[in-house]
Amino acid sequence: MRVAQHGTRSMYNEGCREDDCRAANTLYRREHNTGKRGWNGRYKPSNLRTMTEPEAAWIGAMVEAEGSVYNTLGTDRWKVQFVNTDLELISAFLRVTGVGQVYYRESRPCTGAASGSMSKPLFIWVINAHNDVAQLQERCEMYSGKLQRIGAQ
């Protein structure tokens, strides 16, 4: 087992609050936030794949037709999601953009007029990483009014 030395961030993470350990943690945070440790500023760089014009048009049209674009809790954090019962459409979103997460929601009992029946299982593609959303908006906004709302904010 390796023992952390005073004056290191490891020791700070173990609970030491001596000046040397606090200074090491401050230096780490400063470097981390200014890009010396792999990314610049508050958000990680986007991993959005470079899309062809037809791919960007397809993504924009699908977001416009069946997607959701919404602001999270009144902040500057936006989410883009596409929900469908067809896994192939969801996986196409993932292949074309190269970003996002896919979630599965099982069948549920329906309420209201169709009570007694079950809903279909759903697949949900979501991106909420700040720079991924910004890059998607920039690339596909001419094909989707919903994505244009992000740029208007």
Same domain? 142 vs 71: yes
Show the domain range for 74.
Answer: 53-152
- CA–CA distance from 124 to each of 73, 104, 143 (Å)? 20, 6, 21
Q: What is the pLDDT of residue 142?
A: 94
Q: What is the pLDDT of residue 43?
A: 57
Same domain? 35 vs 58: no
Q: Where are the alpha helices (DSSP H) in the chain?
A: 9-13, 19-34, 53-66, 87-97, 130-140, 145-152
Q: What is the pLDDT of residue 1?
A: 53
Residue 114 lies in a domain: yes
Angle between helices 53-66 and 145-152 (to 10 degrees): 90
Residue 48 lies in a domain: no
- Evaluate the CA torsion angle 98, 103, 107, 112 in order and state its sign: negative
Q: How many domains does the chain have?
A: 2
What is the C-alpha separation between 148 and 145, in angstroms, rounded?
A: 5
Same domain? 4 vs 62: no
Question: Tokens for 96?
Answer: 């074309």
3-state secondary structure of 125: strand
Mean pLDDT by 10 residues, the chain (153 residues): 75 85 79 51 73 96 93 79 93 93 88 73 90 91 91 68
